[in-house]
Amino acid sequence: MTTAPSGPLAHQQIALVDVLDRLLAGGVVITGDLTLRIADVDLVRIDLRALISSVNADVPSPWEEP
Partner 1 sequence: MTEGLRYAYAVVRDTGAPEAGPDALAALEGVPGVAGEPVRAVRHLGLAVLAGDVPTEDFDEGPLRERLEDMAWLEKVARAHQRVVDTAGADSCVIPVRLATVCRGEEGLRRMLADGRERFASALDRLEGRVEWGVKVYAAPPPPEEPPAGQPPAGGRGAPTALSGRDYLRRRKAQRQAAERRWGQTEEGARLVHDTLTGLAERHRLHPPQDPKLSGESDRNVLNAAYLVRREDSAGFAERVGRLAERATGLRVELTGPWAPYSFTADDDGAGSAGADG
DSSP structure class, residue 62:
T
41, 42, 53, 57: residue in contact with partner 1 (rule CB under 8 A): 41
Tell me how many residues contact partner 1 (CB under 8 A): 49
When asked if residue 53 is in the footprint of partner 1 (CB under 8 A), the reply is no
Alpha carbon distances (Å) from 35 to 19, 22, 24, 46, 62: 23, 20, 17, 18, 26
CA dihedral 18, 19, 25, 26 (to 10 degrees): 120
When asked if residue 49 is in the footprint of partner 1 (CB under 8 A), the reply is no
When asked if residue 56 is in the footprint of partner 1 (CB under 8 A), the reply is yes
DSSP element (H, E) containing 49: helix 41-55
When asked if residue 8 is in the footprint of partner 1 (CB under 8 A), the reply is yes
| Interacting residue ranges for partner 1, rule: CB under 8 A | 1-5, 8-10, 12, 14-30, 32, 34-39, 41, 43-44, 47-48, 50-52, 55-56, 59, 62-66
